[in-house]
Homo-oligomer: A and B are copies of this chain.
Amino acid sequence: MTAAIIGIGLIGGSLALSLREKGIAGTIIGVDNDSANIKKALDLRLIDRAASLEEAVQASGLIVLAIPVDAILKVLPRVLDLVSTQVVMDLGSTKSKILQAVANHPKRGRLVAAHPMAGTEYSGPEAAIKDLFKGKTMVFCDARKSDEDAFEMAEALVESLEMRRVFMNASEHDLHTAYVSHISHITSFALALTVLEKEKEEGHIFELASGGFESTVRLAKSSPDMWVPVFRQNRENVLDVLEEHIHQLKNMQKLLENEDYEAFYKLIQRSNKIRKILK
Asked if residues A180 and B249 are in contact (CB atoms below 8 Å), the reply is no
List B contacts of A244 (CB < 8 A): 194, 197-198
Of residues 154 to 190 in A, which have CB atoms within 8 Å of B's CB atoms?
166, 173, 175-177, 179-181, 183-190
Asked if residues A180 and B210 are in contact (CB atoms below 8 Å), the reply is yes
Asked if residues B215 and A219 are in contact (CB atoms below 8 Å), the reply is yes
Asked if residues A209 and B277 are in contact (CB atoms below 8 Å), the reply is yes
Asked if residues A239 and B216 are in contact (CB atoms below 8 Å), the reply is no
Interface of A is mostly: helix
Q: Looking at A192, A231, A267, which has the most chain B CB atoms within 10 Å of its CB?
A: A192
Interface range for A: 35 or more
Q: Within 8 Å of chain B (Cβ to Cβ): is A252?
A: yes
Q: Within 8 Å of chain B (Cβ to Cβ): is A153?
A: no
Q: Within 8 Å of chain B (Cβ to Cβ): is A242?
A: yes
Asked if residues A190 and B249 are in contact (CB atoms below 8 Å), the reply is yes
Asked if residues A187 and B208 are in contact (CB atoms below 8 Å), the reply is no
Q: Within 8 Å of chain B (Cβ to Cβ): is A228?
A: yes
Asked if residues B189 and A268 are in contact (CB atoms below 8 Å), the reply is yes
Q: Within 8 Å of chain B (Cβ to Cβ): is A34?
A: no
